[in-house]
Structure 1
Amino acid sequence: MAFKVIKPGLLALVQDLGRHGHMSIGLTTGGPMDEVAFRWGNALLDNEPNSPQIEVTFGMFTLEAQANTSIALTGADLGTTLNDKHIPPWQTYAIKKGDILAFHQPVWGLRAYLSVKGGFLCEPTLGSVATVMREKIGGLTGKGDKLQKGDVLRYSLGHHHERRSVPRLAIPNYGQTEIPVILGYQYKAFSPLERANFFSSDYKVSPNSDRMGYRLEGKAVHTDLKGIISEGIAYGAIQIPKDGQPIVLLRDRQSIGGYPKMGCVTRVGGGILAQQKPGDVIQFTPITVDQAEQERHLQMARFAQWR
């Protein structure tokens, strides 16, 4: 009762909602880069919200089913096929023993999520299966390894399948280029001109971007601060290093840092950003804490209403 990995692809990782409560000992949270897509995957199958899934980055990932089950695909369209027939994301599908599920290359977006009825069965490490390769923790082996050819992803046997799809209005727009930002307390360390430059400029996603952070290329932003005392790093923090090129810190971010920060992207905004490929262009737009909370409450209300 499992999927067997036939082709490992560029990067396929076991993830849940993250390893929380351990940043004081230097461990980051990990978890899905696109939380909205992850939550919808479990909601479609009536799984627990934290049930483990596979996050597939870019594609080239192939699995063979060894038992019947139901799956859900959410997130990016990676040209996924079931027995060589294209299947779009944001839906559930029945899987039979011997079926071949293959993720190819991005049609739109960058990261897809594969959830299975009941969730993948993995042993948690410090309360979570979230894979953080840099810290060598979590995942199928518990040592932070990405999925490899021959790995076996266990799940519970299931014969009942219900066809479902995410409401169209609830599907994120990965073509959105404006990323919402909550201003941080160091915002005033940047001059009015530098703030204007930051929010009026286009930034291109650098090839050096990864799960730790998205490096951006564009108009440099500077501050008179030479540095700050290292402090805890929140999800979505936008660091401005000495070269003035912003870095948005995401799921596998370091636990502390000493660069000035313009603010933080929201969870929803971070998910949209994580679906952008190197060379894609984004802009930042400021929002208030109240607006960010309303956005979050709306998303969570949609999940609750569905369930």
Structure 2
Amino acid sequence: MSGFKVLQPGLLTLIQDAGRFGHHRIGLTNGGPLDTQAFKWANRLLGNPLNSTLLEVSIGGLVLASEVDTFLVVTGAEMPLKINGVEQDRWHAHRIRQGDRIELGFSKQGARAYLAVTDGFDIQHDFSSSATVSREGIGGLNGGKLQPGDYLPCSSNTKGQSFRLAEQHRPQYQDNINLRVITGYQQQAFSDVDKRMFFSSEYEVTDRADRMGYRLSGPEIKASMEGILSEGICHGAIQIPADGQPIVLLNDRQTIGGYPKIGSMISIDTARMAQQLPGSKVSFEEISIDEAHNLHCLAHVKFERTEPEDLGK
């Protein structure tokens, strides 16, 4: 068997593919990458299918030992990448040989990085996906984060494709960002004053921010109802609990819940939010469903039409 040995797992490193879909009826959430754009680019820069299994590294500190000849790429947050002690460019495929040591330092900007190898990691699927959801104990190697001594199997491939994304096409991760929201039917439970307060205020990302959701701190928002019957919760839903402090729900959210929701953040911006560290500031802007649809289509077209540099030529 060939692959990589985990020497240091970092603060939180999870095996992920695009996510687990079609299983909400039995209570299983989606999982998958918090930053879909960085995830897709990691696979595309190696010529992989976009759903290939890779590693999502939160904050940093990962150290791997290679026991395979392959190519490797790191995208996402600004975590210094070193191969055998020499710092290397991110968003750039690198040839890896047996015996190489790969290190990801701690992030200088952003929260999540994505480490992919040619053909992806060979991880058994649970309920149609390799995505790790620690709360449910499902996916990955053992249903949780990587541990020292874990082994990440993958095939040897020295003839795979390798690309580099030019710097002008790489996302810029910022601390203070504006996030776009579509209001839902429960907005009627919030007064005009509370809605204006929400959309004109600045909120701080607290230290209670994880893959389930980001808890924010700022002006209190109150709903006219104290609770609702539990109902399905979409990705990006913004719940307002009794303390009036918003919670933006992400990939590992529960499948149902009973807090009032002022709206839902668009998926492009949940990815941007997931790159925020505690202490970062965020604000909200209301947009229409049509505007959200257009933004989604434009992002898809931009990804498809952005051509990386072929390193094999």
Deviation at 1:170, TM superposition (A): 3.9
Cα distance in 2 for residues equivalent to 1:241 and 1:302: 37
| One-letter identity of the residue aligned with 2:103 | A
Cα distance in 1 for residues equivalent to 2:168 and 2:257: 38
Cα distance in 1 for residues equivalent to 2:145 and 2:34: 15
Q: How does 1:32-47 map to 2 (within 5 A)?
A: 32-47=33-48
Unaligned runs of 5+ in 2: 308-313
CA contact under 8 A between 2:47 and 2:160: conserved in structure 1? no
| One-letter identity of the residue aligned with 1:59 | G
Structure 2 partner of 1:304: 304
Structure 2 partner of 1:166: 165
CA contact under 8 A between 2:47 and 2:162: conserved in structure 1? no
Deviation at 1:162, TM superposition (A): 4.9
TM-score (normalizing by structure 1): 0.95
TM-score (normalizing by structure 2): 0.94
Which sits farther off after the overlay, 155-164 or 126-135?
Answer: 155-164
Residue by residue over 1:2-57, the C-alpha shift from the partner in whole angstroms, topping out at 9 and shown as x without a partner, is: 11100011110000111111111111110001011101111111111110010000
Which sits farther off after the overlay, 130-139 or 91-100?
Answer: 91-100
Q: How does 1:1-307 map to 2 (within 5 A)?
A: 1-141=2-142, 144-160=143-159, 162-175=161-174, 177-305=177-305
SS at match of 1:177: strand
Deviation at 1:169, TM superposition (A): 4.8
Cα distance in 2 for residues equivalent to 1:23 and 1:169: 39
Cα distance in 1 for residues equivalent to 2:49 and 2:286: 34
Deviation at 1:163, TM superposition (A): 4.6
| One-letter identity of the residue aligned with 2:81 | T
Deviation at 1:290, TM superposition (A): 1.6
Deviation at 1:285, TM superposition (A): 1.2
Structure 1 partner of 2:310: none
RMSD: 1.5
Cα distance in 2 for residues equivalent to 1:260 and 1:169: 41
Percent identity between matched residues is 44
CA contact under 8 A between 2:71 and 2:162: conserved in structure 1? no
SS at match of 1:208: strand
Number of residue equivalences: 305
Residue by residue over 1:62-95, the C-alpha shift from the partner in whole angstroms, topping out at 9 and shown as x without a partner, is: 0011111111211101122122222232221111
Which sits farther off after the overlay, 171-180 or 221-230?
Answer: 171-180
| One-letter identity of the residue aligned with 2:22 | G
Cα distance in 1 for residues equivalent to 2:102 and 2:304: 30
CA contact under 8 A between 1:186 and 1:262: conserved in structure 2? yes
CA contact under 8 A between 1:172 and 1:272: conserved in structure 2? no
